[in-house]
A and B are shown apart, each in its own frame.
Chain A
Amino acid sequence: MMAGRRDRAKSLVTGPEPGPETSTDASGPRRSSLLEVSDLRIQFSTDDGVVKAVDGVSFTVDRGRTLGIVGESGSGKSVTSLGIMGLHSGGNARISGKIWLDGEELVDASPTRVRQLRGSKMAMIFQDPLSALHPYYTVGYQIAEAYLIHNKVGKKAARAHAIEMLERVGIPNPQARVDDYPHQFSGGMRQRTMIAMALSCDPELLIADEPTTALDVTVQAQILDLISELQEEFHSAVIIITHDLGVVAELADDIMVMYAGKMAEYGTSEDIFNRPGHPYAWGLLGSMPRLDQARTDRLIPIPGTPPSLINVPSGCPFHPRCSYAATTNGRCVSEVPLPRSVGLDHEVACHLSIDEQRQNWADLVAQAAPAASHGEDT
């Protein structure tokens, strides 16, 4: 079922044409993608039943590229990122599938090995800096901590490194602020501290989970610029997880849209914004008021609410909210749609044919705003 996904992975690596060899060994890592996730499933058993938080998700991220994972609350985007970081161990999560980081498999790796990698080769920026920073330790201590653990250096060198990192993320007067406690920092500075912590060991993979959701819009712009600059400087792979399509557009090269633990659509940023193929992606774009387009009188919301992950609807999980589900003779209700390639590096998990997808999107664009700046489908 992952054939299309692997082709895409290959095409990212080898160039424009999809790799012809479809019989790649399912257990081997890809050549130069830094991160490859294949058929990742994460389930939690609860008193009410098994929560399928992530249900068969596959993607790759290359060095220097940014993948945006977009979805509403409960779509499994944060669970995916925690799964990559190996932060579900010790809980009641059941994880299956493969995660390769630079050729090294992580799902079956020992917790000790994952701990060695975490913080050095992969790092994470959390959503709420106030709860992710320890109130009892100075910011300098917290930044130096990971550096001390992963490198053979003394405390003095680690402290100097912490000051350097604070300077790099734009904290004024770092020599003095290094001894401050998190409560003495403002929201934006705390988030900068989180970024300094995450980058202190030059990670090759950086995961940012809603990095700007807790921030004001002017500070959010500063942080987005900072992440973007630092990525260019460190040439790391970045995964940015957000519910805000505007934020993802600022940073991401590729976008994965998740719904109910499954991938709904995957493509370049341009594909997702200009030629989305999944009705859920249409819904997300239509329900968002936009400053860059003429104001419309009504938004087009997605009816209904996201499903419970214990009782995921049969077939396509989106079918109860999808206005096109009636046009497929019940396939949407009975059959889970597999990701299908609809263009170069562009996959959609939907039963509608490619022509239907294009036609429907063109209709929606024409209907929403005749003078909209969207590109027409070709």
Chain B
Amino acid sequence: MQVTQPDPARVSSTALMSVSGLTKHFPVTRGVIFQRRVGLVRSVDDVSFDVARGETLGIVGESGCGKTTTARMLVRLIEPTAGQIMFDGRDITHLRAGAMRPLRREVQMIFQDPYSSLNPRHTVGAIVGAPFRLQKVKTEKGTKQSVQELLELVGLSPEHYNRYPHEFSGGQRQRIGIARTLALRPKLIVADEPVSALDVSIQAQVINLLADLQAELGLTYVIIAHDLSVIRHVCDEVAVMYLGNLVERARRADLYERPRHPYTVALLSAVPRPEPLQRTQDGRRDRRERIRLTGDVPSPLNPPSACRFHTRCWKAQEVCRTVPPPLAELAPGHYVACHFPENTPAPS
């Protein structure tokens, strides 16, 4: 695979986190004692992006595209196979646990499922106060006071301090999780599907809360989601992943108005629109034309050669099966890995 070198001009001081060539392969083993390696799941392959200070990067893709693995590598919960993660000017790719600990204050994670990410035996006070305890941080007014301030910050009541997670609804639990990540005033928050487990009306509350906190505390977010409309709402820059590859990355408006990778085009076209159904004269449904992708996402255990999207792509030609398309900057700030991009004048 061709490795895209980070452009020195692009990696400016505004990037809080900068990732290049990030790769994670999980071995598949057989046998108990003599573990033979029988395969390799290429979860994430050569992914590069920057996260600008104070902005939100969205990573979007279908299940199995490696977005969660990427998120976990960013916070160093998974050890990358290859590549480099720079955070605030430091290489944190292979920092050991001890060296990583002070950094944990600055990089925090919000998890998807507010039911399994809070310990049911701990009170809200203990959960939100845990970062202070673990990092041995003394706050001016004491831990309890700080925790209560955090609860207020995320829209909960300070009286909730002594309650247990089961007494709260899904949206409130997600707020507790957010309060915990904010405890140590991180610079970067990685949120893995922060709203997908919530009802629509509650989703909007949490999305607004994340936006308010960003404005108030100057946070930088990396948000992972499968919902393209949520991503459009919260992100400044969007990266689209397919089967472990980053296929397109652009500013929000560019990506949604002029998607260039066929997969992005298909993905956007597949989102159901909340517009009332029309019937034609003979009573048939008058449906919006959409690009239909056939089949399912192939297995990352044995991904298709070269461009991994070629098995489902309507524009695929011989070159797509043999030459991996490089991630090229087709327009300022708009990177696409495709031999035949859409919405682009044909190359001369």
Interface residue ranges, A against B (CB under 8 Å): 64, 72-73, 186-189, 216-222, 224-225, 228, 232, 243-253, 268-270, 272-274, 283-292, 295, 297-303, 305-306
Contact = CB atoms under 8 A, between A and B. Distances in A.
A16 to B, nearest CB: 15
Contacts of B276: 249, 268-270, 272-274
Contacts of B200: 72, 243-245, 284, 287-288
Nearest to A306: B199
Given A216-B62, A245-B274, A295 B284 contact: no
Interface string B279-296: 100011101001011101
Contacts of A297: 211
A298 B201 contact: no
Shortest beta-carbon contacts, A-B, top 10: A246-B272, A287-B204, A301-B204, A302-B201, A269-B276, A221-B270, A289-B233, A299-B204, A216-B62, A72-B199
Contact of A221 (B230, B232, B279, B292): B292
Most buried by B among A224, A225, A290: A290
B209 to A, nearest CB: 9
A228 B287 CA distance: 10
Contacts of B169: 305-306
27 contacts: A64-B283, A216-B62, A217-B62, A220-B270, A220-B272, A221-B290, A222-B294, A228-B285, A246-B273, A249-B276, A250-B272, A250-B273, A250-B277, A251-B277, A268-B276, A269-B277, A283-B201, A287-B201, A287-B203, A288-B274, A289-B230, A291-B228, A291-B232, A300-B204, A301-B207, A302-B205, A305-B169
A73 B199 contact: yes
Nearest to B273: A292
Contacts of A228: 285, 287
A248 B204 CA distance: 19
User: In which size bucket is the chain B interface?
Assistant: 35 or more
Given A186-B296, A269-B277, A290-B274, A218 B204 contact: no
B311 interface: no
Given A221-B292, A272-B276, A299-B204, A216 B226 contact: yes
Contact of B232 (A189, A289, A301, A303): A289
Nearest to B61: A216
A249 B274 contact: yes
B273 A218 contact: no
Nearest to A73: B199
Interface of B: 62-63, 169, 171-172, 199-205, 207-208, 211, 226, 228-230, 232-233, 252, 256, 266-277, 279, 283-285, 287, 290, 292-294, 296-297
Contacts of A286: 204
B320 to A, nearest CB: 18
Given A298-B211, A305-B172, 6 more contacts: A187-B296, A189-B296, A221-B269, A244-B272, A289-B233, A306-B169
Contacts of A232: 284-285
A159 B112 CA distance: 42
Contact of A249 (B205, B230, B273, B284): B273
Nearest to B290: A221
A225 B292 contact: yes
Nearest to A72: B199
Nearest to B199: A72
A50 B208 CA distance: 35
